[in-house]
Amino acid sequence: MAAQIINGVELASAKRAQLAKEVEELKNLGIEPGLTVILVGDDPASHSYVKGKQKACAEVGIRSTLLTFPATITESMLLEQIDQLNRDETVHGILVQLPLPNHIDELKVIEAIAPEKDVDGFHPINVGRMMVGQKAFLPCTPYGILFMVQSLGIDIAGKHVVVVGRSNIVGKPVGQLFLREHATVTYCHSKTKDLAAITHQADILIVAVGKANLIGAEHVKEGAIVIDVGVNRLENGKLCGDVRFDEVKEVASYLTPVPKGVGPMTITMLLHNTVEAARNAHHINKRGERSGRY
Ligand SMILES: Nc1nc(=O)c2c([nH]1)NC[C@@H]1CN(c3ccc(C(=O)N[C@@H](CCC(=O)O)C(=O)O)cc3)C=[N+]21
């Protein structure tokens, strides 16, 4: 039987409606959640993603500010800018759109962001806190994927999750999030031998490589859940994932499309983290009450 296609837009919009309510409650307390996005250079893909983030902020009532800089900005000027935003109380979340030009050290920039404003969840403090199970901003794409899989109502404990890809922003952390949910996790990457033999064992297969058509029916066990994190822009301008959709949909039980799968969830979790950052900054709990620490 053909797979059920997971609608990321629908799931995202349900979650955004909830977030809009939470923003409204914060505004009633005189708090306007604010996200500042830093965009360096003029990569068209980055500009397009940033536009999507701003539109989503507007949709739930988060104030978003875009700061753009030429690709020639020096590292120290960028660090100075971040420092200024760290000290600005009206800014709850800071996002530096990646990738950055080669002359700028990305890790240095990420480390300059105050961990309590790091709504991407990329700062080593947040990564470490996530690893040991402390409260932390979870990276948006992995968090969005977990949210999607949980929304299917299946029990993750004991499932074999196979992650293809080991980037710091998707592959590595998504495996950790599923490990936290008691899955058995296997990582595959470019040096893995006999990829298909391993991916074929997956109950949940998460593909985050960035290579169009990498995964086909031969990689997927009958009835597996397949999450496609690839964002590959084809020459004809169309966006496609890492998974051969038409083939895999005949084998999988659930499959995410590209576009309209993981992407919208990523942005939604960014909104979630920004609302959380605003609440934390003002010592407000999830029920909208000020905690005793005031
Ligand atoms: N600091 C930082 N944080 C990021 O979260 C970050 C980043 N840098 N750099 C680039 C990647 C990529 N990324 C996407 C988010 C949403 C869609 C998305 O919503 N895509 C739509 C389609 C959009 C289109 O058609 O162009 C979809 O899949 O339906 C795609 C890609 C976030 N990233």
Closest ligand 1 atom to residue 98 Cα is 8
Out of 48, 167, 170, 231, give the residue to mutate to test ligand 1, the one with the largest number of ligand atoms within 8 Å of its CB: 231
Question: Are 64 and 36 spatial neighbours (Cβ–Cβ below 8 Å)?
Answer: yes
Task: Show the ligand 1 pocket: residues with CB < 6 angstroms.
Answer: 48-49, 52, 95-98, 120, 140, 231, 239, 258-260, 263-264, 266-267
Catalytic residue annotation: 53, 97, 120
Could you please report the per-residue DSSP string of 248-293?
HTTT-SEE--SSSSHHHHHHHHHHHHHHHHHHHHTTB-TTS-B-TT
Taking the CA atoms of 210, 212, 218 and 224 in sequence, report the sign of the dihedral they define.
Answer: positive
Report d(CA 267, CA 275) in Å as an integer.
13
Separation of CA 263 and ligand 1 centre (Å)? 6
Mean of all residue pLDDT scores within the chain:
97
Taking the CA atoms of 123, 18, 5 and 52 in sequence, report the sign of the dihedral they define.
Answer: negative
Taking CA atoms only, the protein residue closest to ligand 1 atom 32 is: 49
Give the domains, in start order, of the chain with CATH numbers.
Answer: 29-113 (3.40.50.10860), 140-263 (3.40.50.720)
Determine the pLDDT at residue 286: 87
Out of 36, 48, 49, 167, give the residue to mutate to test ligand 1, the one with the largest number of ligand atoms within 8 Å of its CB: 49
Report d(CA 36, CA 66) in Å as an integer.
6
Cα 292 versus chain centre, distance: 32
Closest ligand 1 atom to residue 8 Cα is 29
CA triplet 271, 238, 233: central angle to 5 degrees? Answer: 70
Count the residues in the chain.
294
Taking CA atoms only, the protein residue closest to ligand 1 atom 2 is: 97
Determine the pLDDT at residue 287: 86
Within 13 Å, how many C-alpha atoms sit on residue 172's CB side? Answer: 10
Annotated binding site for NADP(+): 165-167, 231
Report d(CA 248, CA 220) in Å as an integer.
7
Q: Which residues of the chain have pLDDT under 50?
A: 294
Determine the pLDDT at residue 293: 54
Determine the pLDDT at residue 260: 98
Beta strand pairing call for 34-40 and 63-69: parallel
What's the pLDDT tens digit per position in 163-192?
Answer: 999 999 999 999 999 999 999 999 999 999
Report d(CA 241, CA 245) in Å as an integer.
8
